[in-house]
Amino acid sequence: MIDTYRGSVFSTDCDEVGHMHVSNYVSKFEEATCQLIGSVGFTPHYLRNNNKSVVSVEHHIKYINELLPKDLIIIESRVLELTRSSIKFFHRMMNSQTRKVAAEMVIVAVQLDITTRKSSRIPDDLANTITNHIAAHAQ
């Protein structure tokens, strides 16, 4: 697992009952996603120069322990699987003070050709980097 996000829960992140709202879990996981996919080669430079994007096609979130205003959080992430045009990855959000897991998310994302709006094959050099990440962070 690699650290992909550090932050805190603000009162504006919370719903009417005082814990972090679902939309903010997704937002923080999305920030972690940008760091994770960048670390395995889907950098802004690669995406812009190759007219590609990485788009989520499936999300699974498990809420375990609530987060409250002023809680400090960390997200750790890793890639689970690679196919010809997609990656599946895992995020774990924790309260960094108590180390209690707050939520976990599994995402399936596809490399998209922006011009054709269709999935596209992940190049071999990127696939090798992702495969090495999977091997290094398997648990």
Specify the residue for token string 């054709």: 116
pTM of the model: 0.93
Question: Is the pLDDT assigned to residue 139 strictly greater than 80?
Answer: no
- Computed over every residue of the chain, the mean pLDDT equals 96
Give dist(CA 27, CA 12) in Å, integer. 13
* Residues 65-120: tens digit of each pLDDT: 999 999 999 999 999 999 999 999 999 999 999 999 999 999 999 999 999 999 99
Ordered by where they begin, the domains of the chain are 2-136 (3.10.129.10)
Give dist(CA 92, CA 73) in Å, integer. 10
| DSSP run (H or E) holding 110 | strand 101-113
